[in-house]
Structure 1
Amino acid sequence: MASLFGLARRNWLILNPPQASKSTAPLRFGILGAADIAPQALILPARSHPDVVIHIVAARDPKKANAFAQKHGIPEVAKSYQDIVDNPNIDCVYIPLPNGLHYEWALRALKAGKHVLLEKPSVNNSTEAEALFKSPLLDGPQAPILLEAAHYLFHPAWTAFMSYVTPAEVASAKAVIWVPRWKFGADDIRYRYDLGGGALMDLGAYTASVLVHVFGGLAEDCEESITQPGPNDTKCDRLFKVRYRFRGGGHGEMEGDLKAPLDRLSPDVHVMHKPIVVSGADSGVKVPEGLEVVRTRKIKFSTFAQPTYLHSIQIDDEFITRKIGDASGHIKKWTSSKTVKAYTFSEVGIDQPGESCWPTYRYQLEQFVNKVRGRDVQQWVSGDDSINTMKMIDMAYTAAKLPLRPTSEYKLAD
Structure 2
Amino acid sequence: MASIVGFLSRNWQFFSPPTVPKGPQPLRFGVISAANIVPMAFLSPASTHPEVVVTAVAARDPARAAAFAKKHKIPNVKESYQALLDDPDIDCVYIPLPNGLHYEWAVRALRAGKHVYLEKPAVSNAIEAEKLFNSPLLKDPGAPVLLEAAHSWFYPAWSRFMSFVDPAGIERATSNMLVPTGFIADSDIRYDYALAGGAMMDTGPYTMGALRLAFGGGVPVSCEKAEWKPLPGVDRAKAEVDAAYEVHFRFANGGLGIARGTLKMPLSEWEMPNRIEVVHKPRVMVAGAGAVGDEAEELRKAGVSVKDGQEVVRVRTVSLSFFVMPYVYHTVHVQDEYTLRETGPAGGGKTVKKWTKKADHKAYSWKGAGVDQPGEVYWLTYRHCLEQFINKVRGRETKQWFGAEDSIATAKMLDMAYEAAGLKLRPTSTYE
The yes-or-no answer on 1:253 pairing with 2:274 is: no
Equivalence for 1:54: 54
Q: Within 2, Cα distance between the matches of 1:301 and 1:134?
A: 33
Measure how far apart 1:290 and its partner are: 4.1
Secondary structure at the aligned position of 2:253 is classed as helix
Secondary structure at the aligned position of 2:19 is classed as coil
Gaps of 5+ in 2: 301-305
Measure how far apart 1:86 and its partner are: 1.5
The yes-or-no answer on 1:272 pairing with 2:279 is: yes
Secondary structure at the aligned position of 1:237 is classed as coil
Q: Within 2, Cα distance between the matches of 1:142 and 1:290?
A: 62
Amino acid at match of 1:275: P
Equivalence for 1:296: 315
Equivalence for 1:80: 80
Q: Which runs of 4 or more aligned residues in structure 1 lie more than 4 Å from their structure 2 counterparts after TM superposition?
A: 323-327
1:51-200 equivalence runs, <5 A: 51-200=51-200
Q: Within 2, Cα distance between the matches of 1:93 and 1:251?
A: 38
Measure how far apart 1:265 and its partner are: 4.7
Q: Within 2, Cα distance between the matches of 1:358 and 1:289?
A: 52
Which of 340, 344, 351 matches 1:330? 351
Structure whose alpha-carbon radius of gyration is higher: 2
Once structures 1 and 2 are overlaid, which stretch shifts more, 319-328 or 27-36?
319-328
Secondary structure at the aligned position of 2:335 is classed as strand
1:213-292 equivalence runs, <5 A: 213-216=213-216, 217-230=218-231, 234-262=239-267, 263-279=270-286, 280=291, 281-282=294-295, 284-285=298-299, 287-292=306-311
- TM-score normalized with structure 1 length: 0.96
Count of residue pairs brought into register by the alignment: 411
Secondary structure at the aligned position of 1:300 is classed as strand
Equivalence for 1:394: 415
Amino acid at match of 1:285: L
Amino acid at match of 1:312: T
Secondary structure at the aligned position of 2:395 is classed as coil
The yes-or-no answer on 1:363 pairing with 2:369 is: no
Q: Within 2, Cα distance between the matches of 1:2 and 1:223?
A: 46
Q: Within 2, Cα distance between the matches of 1:309 and 1:182?
A: 21
Q: 1:144-199, CA deviations, whole angstroms, 9 ceiling, x for partnerless residues?
A: 11111110000000000000111100001011001121111121001100001000
C-alpha contact 1:244 1:253 (8 A) present in aligned 2: yes
C-alpha contact 1:235 1:403 (8 A) present in aligned 2: yes
Q: Within 2, Cα distance between the matches of 1:400 and 1:182?
A: 25
Q: 1:116-160, CA deviations, whole angstroms, 9 ceiling, x for partnerless residues?
A: 111111100011111111111111331111111110000000000
Equivalence for 1:346: 367
Amino acid at match of 1:219: P
C-alpha contact 2:246 2:259 (8 A) present in aligned 1: yes
Secondary structure at the aligned position of 1:392 is classed as helix
Measure how far apart 1:26 and its partner are: 0.3
Once structures 1 and 2 are overlaid, which stretch shifts more, 87-96 or 270-279?
270-279
Once structures 1 and 2 are overlaid, which stretch shifts more, 140-149 or 158-167?
140-149
Residue 21 and residue 387 in structure 1: after superposition, are their counterparts in 2 closer, same or farther (change >3 A)? Answer: same
Amino acid at match of 2:122: S
C-alpha contact 1:34 1:68 (8 A) present in aligned 2: yes
Residue 32 and residue 327 in structure 1: after superposition, are their counterparts in 2 closer, same or farther (change >3 A)? Answer: farther
Equivalence for 2:326: 307
C-alpha contact 1:29 1:55 (8 A) present in aligned 2: yes
Q: 1:225-281, CA deviations, whole angstroms, 9 ceiling, x for partnerless residues?
A: 111113567101111111111112210001111011232352000110001122543
Q: Within 1, Cα distance between the matches of 2:369 and 2:188?
A: 40
Residue 184 and residue 291 in structure 1: after superposition, are their counterparts in 2 closer, same or farther (change >3 A)? Answer: same
Q: Within 2, Cα distance between the matches of 1:215 and 1:298?
A: 14
Residue 327 and residue 369 in structure 1: after superposition, are their counterparts in 2 closer, same or farther (change >3 A)? Answer: farther
Equivalence for 1:379: 400
Q: Within 2, Cα distance between the matches of 1:222 and 1:241?
A: 11
Q: Within 2, Cα distance between the matches of 1:248 and 1:209?
A: 17
C-alpha contact 1:179 1:265 (8 A) present in aligned 2: no
Q: Within 1, Cα distance between the matches of 2:277 and 2:325?
A: 16
Amino acid at match of 1:221: S
- TM-score normalized with structure 2 length: 0.92
C-alpha contact 1:212 1:385 (8 A) present in aligned 2: no
Q: Within 1, Cα distance between the matches of 2:110 and 2:369?
A: 35
Q: Within 1, Cα distance between the matches of 2:168 and 2:416?
A: 22
Measure how far apart 1:324 and its partner are: 5.3
Q: Within 2, Cα distance between the matches of 1:329 and 1:370?
A: 55
Measure how far apart 1:323 and its partner are: 4.2
Equivalence for 1:3: 3
C-alpha contact 1:242 1:253 (8 A) present in aligned 2: yes
C-alpha contact 2:198 2:242 (8 A) present in aligned 1: yes
The yes-or-no answer on 1:404 pairing with 2:405 is: no
Measure how far apart 1:332 and its partner are: 2.2
Q: CA RMSD in A?
A: 1.5
Secondary structure at the aligned position of 1:348 is classed as coil
Q: Within 2, Cα distance between the matches of 1:168 and 1:3?
A: 34
Q: Within 1, Cα distance between the matches of 2:283 and 2:40?
A: 42
Residue 327 and residue 139 in structure 1: after superposition, are their counterparts in 2 closer, same or farther (change >3 A)? Answer: farther
